[in-house]
Structure 1
Amino acid sequence: MAHGTFREITTHNLRTFKHHYVSEISGSLGDLGTFLPIAIALAINDTVSLSSTLIFSGIFNILTGLFFGIPLPVQPMKAIAAVAIARSFSNGTIAAAGAFVGICIFIFSITGLLRWFTDVIPIPVIKGIQVGAGLSLIISSGAKILSSLGWVPYALIVFAVGLVFAIICSAVAGSLPSFEFWHPYTVVPTGHQWRVGALDAGIGQLPLTTLNSIVAVTHLAHDLLPGVPTPSTTHIGLSVAGMNIIGVWFGAMPVCHGSGGLAAQYRFGARSGSSVVFLGVLKLIIGIFFGESLVGLLKQFPSSMLGIMVIAAGLELVSVGESLNTSGARDIGKPDSLIIGDAARDAGPVLTDEERKRRWTVMMVTVGLLVGFKNDAVGFLAGMLCHWAYKLPALYEKAKSRWSEGRIRM
């Protein structure tokens, strides 16, 4: 679906917020279960500046909401964050990792590679990545799935209760936040930091960003918000590139857009860009006026409360797998883009039992390997190999037919 004009997006944002402001505010907080723990961990290690992270992610939230008109999240780059936390990266090293990924994604975007990825990756593999990411979130957050979690004020209630606990604990510990205006500074990585950041963290982040933060999130936006114009993979790619080519030089955390965050914000009620605009303004105010003094307070935020929000996001992601073999899947009734030339055929509006089984198998192979190895790239490769394995007999029969007709000569 084509992306709407700025006027249409603004009208949609204002109308949605006016009539559903409780839902939009609640939804804006849905992704904090992913954002806060990683941001806090990196800030405690002095790897990133919490104030710069809040300010720049807030700016990116606002721009995303204004120009895309959907509750697209601004999330930490998880692969980079995991390596940075484990190895106590300096701010220069994590900046180099984020900038490296941003530059690569920019090249992918302007050369059309992202559009090509979207066209050739089968829907079962994409849904497998989404379902696998959802299961990973649930597994990492606890064994008890909150399947009854439904209507939107839950995020507001959970966040408010958690904040009360954090304030009480901070008051007892004497670490309440105070006014501390942001003091911007710049980070310029050294040659060694570029090598370590790019090779040890940036390369591992690339498949995760490309598959989950760009390709999968584009499809998920279409699935969750079919009546809203969906941004293209190129637009989202340029957004990811821009955020990291700009923010990391000021000590901000490397960020991206993720399908898990979109699912979380949707789960808690967000339906337009106004939700992330609200969140962005909130981050800006807090980052400018409280800065690093927030670290102590946020450390006291109950992890169980954040876990509830993460589980809810996982549930929303897992649920998208339900539409794999229905008309809700984008490729039903469209040509299979991985069959070459005159072998391409229309899948048709109704799938046979065999086709359903094959698509389900491809998705579950993707899910199983992604969860088992805790790696999106492994799940993606496994799903693609399974998909191609199903195509080999048809390609073999086609080649055999051409050989018998004399159309193929040695």
Structure 2
Amino acid sequence: MALRQHLRAVTEYNIRTLQTSLLAELSGALGDLGTLLPLMIAMALRGSIDLPATLVFSGLANIFTGVYYGIPLPVQPMKAIAAVAISQNFSKQETMAAGLTMGIAVFALSASGTLSWLNRVVPVPIVKGIQVSAGLALTISAGSSMIQPLGWITPGNDNRLLALAAFAFLIITALIPRLPYALLVFSLGLVLAAAITSTTSPSISQAGLWHPSIVIPNAQAWRTGAIDAAIPQLPLTTLNSILAVTSLASTLFPNFPPTPTTTSIGFSVALANLVGCWFGAMPICHGSGGVAGQYRFGARSGSSIVILGIVKLVLGLTVGEAVVPLLQRFPRSLLGVMVLAAGVELAKVGQSVGDGEEVWGRVDEAGDDERAGHEGKGKVEEERKGRWMVMLVTVAGCLAFKNDAVGFSAGMVWYWGLRVSIWVEHLRHGRVRLGHERRGGEESAILGSR
């Protein structure tokens, strides 16, 4: 009964939001394509995945998440697996072995309660640091790999001038939020891509109904996929696709729909891969960057993701590989600006790392004593600096080594260093007992404990 009530409430919310903000939901549905398209196309061209199966199963995952969660929860490629598969020319068996390994690992973490435990013990500034680093990584990628290689005026349908025009339009839509930026820019990109494709690849003989086939990895594929791709992917999925997603969802959607739990998100990721990867579908997960991108471009409910899922499903069932030439020629200038905007939106979450009701509460408790009030304000500033440093150290580790696990470890070391320094200060002043009594105050405020 509880599930039925939940689904009814989410469905009513999705329909109500779609009726009042149709264009915004359509625009927001496209907010994560800057991450999806380049990796999906590259893996399909190398034979590492089956494109029709990817469209079908990622579309089904979109529909499920939109109906069940009621928020614009993205379905993204597993980036570490995608990077290894592209660089090492993985076969379908090796890529599927990596995705299935991840599905098994995440399912075990969810079923055992490990993800829920991590959500309780990992400090907020570290989670925000993972989010900020992901946002900055998106902006760096947009500039270095999508926009910077372009010429200023050539080719005519994809150049830096077009990127500047798209950026100027982005500023205009920031002043006029009702303009569906992603929908308009993506439509323009499709027109430009279709104009080139019609002259260079006019045939659509590859189009046809999808015929599913089972992919069974052999022993060597299991070894290669699990060791070379799944192990690097596990910390990225745990931190950015699960912990950071639930944190960002609670920030963007504080009232309704209910914030997804880490265990629920973990099962969603696990089941999507344990089903789709047997058919050659791309290993997928959720991601905080996608949530931020879709929110930035107008999505406020799961209806946007349901629409995207239906489009993917129809394309996968009917068009399949024939869509590759069109997507290959989508202007990187437009795609780059969309990724840039999504990255900035995600990095913005770091601005609230110093906020907290317990901070202001302790200043107010200083009472009428002016000296105590000054001391309280000094503690507030010290707490803010502590949180910022934990977050920035996490960001530095993630970006410097391009590894979320390194950033997480660096942030935790800094976190525990601050915690020890607080304990030593209390010990020095004979306030160890007081310090423990105020765990919800001084230590948790500085360190951002949950």
For the criterion TM > 0.5, the same-fold answer is: yes
| CA apart distance, 1:255 | 0.2
Structure 2 CA distance, aligned partners of 1:93 and 1:249? 12
Q: Is 1:172–2:175 an aligned residue pair?
A: no
Alpha-carbon displacement from aligned partner over 1:344-378 (angstroms, at most 9, x marks no partner): xxxx9997100000101111111112112111111
Partner of residue 278, structure 1: 307
Q: Is 1:102–2:103 an aligned residue pair?
A: yes
Q: Is 1:192–2:220 an aligned residue pair?
A: yes
Q: Residues 19 and 288 (structure 1 numbering): CA distance in 2 closer, same or farther, change over 3 Å?
A: same
CA contact (8 A) 1:332 1:349 kept: no
CA contact (8 A) 1:97 1:201 kept: yes
Which amino acid is the alignment partner of residue 332 of structure 2? S
Partner of residue 294, structure 1: 323
Partner of residue 155, structure 1: 182
Task: Pick the aligned partner of 2:394 from 363, 366, 372.
Answer: 366
Structure 2 CA distance, aligned partners of 1:332 and 1:16? 36
Partner of residue 10, structure 2: 9
Structure 1 CA distance, aligned partners of 2:204 and 2:9? 40
Structure 1 CA distance, aligned partners of 2:38 and 2:273? 20
Partner of residue 384, structure 1: 412
Q: Is 1:44–2:45 an aligned residue pair?
A: yes
Structure 2 CA distance, aligned partners of 1:29 and 1:131? 21
Q: TM-score, normalised by structure 2?
A: 0.82
Q: Residues 349 and 10 (structure 1 numbering): CA distance in 2 closer, same or farther, change over 3 Å?
A: farther
Structure 2 CA distance, aligned partners of 1:319 and 1:45? 36
Structure 2 CA distance, aligned partners of 1:383 and 1:268? 31
Partner of residue 308, structure 1: 337
Q: Is 1:356–2:387 an aligned residue pair?
A: no
Structure 2 CA distance, aligned partners of 1:292 and 1:238? 30
Q: Residues 397 and 326 (structure 1 numbering): CA distance in 2 closer, same or farther, change over 3 Å?
A: closer
Q: Secondary structure at the match of 2:416?
A: helix
Alpha-carbon displacement from aligned partner over 1:368-401 (angstroms, at most 9, x marks no partner): 1211211111111111111111011233466786
| CA apart distance, 1:293 | 1.1
Q: Residues 14 and 403 (structure 1 numbering): CA distance in 2 closer, same or farther, change over 3 Å?
A: closer
Q: Secondary structure at the match of 1:272?
A: coil
CA contact (8 A) 2:52 2:316 kept: yes
Partner of residue 141, structure 2: 140
Partner of residue 118, structure 1: 119
Q: Secondary structure at the match of 1:142?
A: helix
Partner of residue 66, structure 1: 67
Using the TM superposition, name which of 216-225 and 178-187 deviates more: 178-187
Q: Residues 218 and 189 (structure 1 numbering): CA distance in 2 closer, same or farther, change over 3 Å?
A: same
1:27-42 equivalences in 2 (<5 Å): 27-42=28-43
Q: Residues 177 and 385 (structure 1 numbering): CA distance in 2 closer, same or farther, change over 3 Å?
A: farther
Structure 2 CA distance, aligned partners of 1:256 and 1:333? 38
CA RMSD, 1 decimal: 2.4
Partner of residue 222, structure 1: 250
Task: Pick the aligned partner of 1:202 from 230, 233, 243.
Answer: 230
CA contact (8 A) 2:423 2:432 kept: no
| CA apart distance, 1:333 | 8.6
Structure 1 CA distance, aligned partners of 2:16 and 2:76? 26
CA contact (8 A) 2:215 2:280 kept: yes
Task: Pick the aligned partner of 2:288 from 259, 275, 280.
Answer: 259
Using the TM superposition, name which of 122-131 and 137-146 deviates more: 137-146
- For structure 2, the 5+ residue unaligned runs are 148-163, 362-375, 434-450
Which amino acid is the alignment partner of residue 320 of structure 2? G
Alpha-carbon displacement from aligned partner over 1:277-308 (angstroms, at most 9, x marks no partner): 00000101111110111112211111112111
Partner of residue 271, structure 2: 242
Partner of residue 408, structure 1: none
Structure 2 CA distance, aligned partners of 1:359 and 1:46? 45
Alpha-carbon displacement from aligned partner over 1:185-235 (angstroms, at most 9, x marks no partner): 110000110000000000000000000000000000111111221110000
Q: Residues 351 and 176 (structure 1 numbering): CA distance in 2 closer, same or farther, change over 3 Å?
A: farther
Q: Residues 373 and 5 (structure 1 numbering): CA distance in 2 closer, same or farther, change over 3 Å?
A: same
Which amino acid is the alignment partner of residue 360 of structure 1? W
Aligned length: 388
Structure 1 CA distance, aligned partners of 2:132 and 2:425? 33
Structure 1 CA distance, aligned partners of 2:188 and 2:255? 34
CA contact (8 A) 1:167 1:176 kept: no
Using the TM superposition, name which of 392-401 and 201-210 deviates more: 392-401
- For structure 1, the 5+ residue unaligned runs are 335-347, 405-410
